[in-house]
């Protein structure tokens, strides 16, 4: 992150059962969030081996922006930024050869780190094993609170009542780990 401080933002467990056909569609993470700023990082930490076919893929360089329209994964609905307010994603999956897509097969002990604006996606899971991933997100020096008029994903109920827009994320929900 190039940051002197590190705050925990949030974490979640991502489980794909054997035979999952549903893709995780291409998206950036930050437009779903309540933060502005560039010093951030996500760690995607599988606890099972993940094949190249089922791994998280990235469009190299896309962390430079722009912010692109966040949509619901299941029905492509604009639930966050209003329709038309951000540029839509290009059809990456339909024209993969036009994009610098990178991804790696992963063994337990490996993990990938990426910026919250990096476009990423993952296929389903073939074979008999679950694909379990611990995913954890960190914030650096320049990150500021950006309260939204909609429910962010994840949601932090009540945060906007105590933390003004533009403030550092100085709240017990985001403990300072370094600094």
Ligand X SMILES: O=C(O)CCC(=O)C(=O)O
Which stretches of the chain bind ligand X, using CB under 6 A?
14, 24, 29, 42, 44, 56, 120, 122, 133, 135
Least distance from C-beta 23 to ligand X, angstroms?
8
Least distance from C-beta 65 to ligand X, angstroms?
17
Tokens representing residue 75 in the block: 């029905």
In this structure, are strands 35-36 and 144-145 parallel, antiparallel, or unpaired?
antiparallel
Instruction: Give the angle 10-46-52 at the CA atoms, nearest 5°.
Output: 125
Using the minimum distance from each CB to ligand X, give the nearer residue, 82 or 154.
154
Using the minimum distance from each CB to ligand X, give the nearer residue, 64 or 161.
64
Using the minimum distance from each CB to ligand X, give the nearer residue, 104 or 158.
104
Q: Classify 107 in phi/psi space as left (phi over 0), alpha (psi -120 to 50) or beta.
A: beta
Question: Are 20 and 133 a contacting pair, CB within 8 Å?
Answer: no
Using the minimum distance from each CB to ligand X, give the nearer residue, 80 or 163.
80
Least distance from C-beta 164 to ligand X, angstroms?
27
Q: Residue 50 burial by CB count (10 A; 0-12/13-18/19+): exposed, middle or buried?
A: buried
Least distance from C-beta 162 to ligand X, angstroms?
27
Question: Are 56 and 122 a contacting pair, CB within 8 Å?
Answer: yes
Rounded to whole angstroms, the Cα distance separating 73 from 29 reads: 12
Least distance from C-beta 82 to ligand X, angstroms?
23
Using the minimum distance from each CB to ligand X, give the nearer residue, 40 or 42.
42
């Amino acid at each position: 992150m190039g940051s002197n401080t590190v705050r925990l933002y949030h974490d979640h467990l991502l489980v794909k059962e054997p035979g999952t056909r549903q893709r995780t569609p291409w998206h950036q993470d930050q437009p779903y969030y309540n933060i502005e700023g560039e010093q951030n990082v996500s760690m995607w930490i599988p606890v099972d081996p993940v094949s190249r076919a089922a791994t998280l893929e990235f469009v190299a360089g896309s962390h430079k922006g722009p912010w692109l329209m966040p949509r619901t994964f299941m029905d492509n609905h604009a639930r966050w930024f209003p329709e038309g307010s951000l540029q839509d994603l290009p059809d990456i999956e339909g024209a993969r050869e036009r994009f610098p897509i990178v991804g790696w097969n992963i063994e337990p002990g490996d993990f990938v780190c990426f910026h919250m604006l990096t476009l990423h996606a993952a296929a389903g899971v073939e074979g008999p094993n679950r694909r379990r991933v611990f995913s954890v997100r960190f914030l650096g020096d320049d990150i500021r609170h950006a309260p939204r008029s909609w429910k962010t994903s994840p949601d932090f109920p009540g945060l906007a009542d105590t933390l003004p827009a533009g403030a550092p994320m100085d709240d017990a929900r985001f403990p300072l780990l370094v600094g």
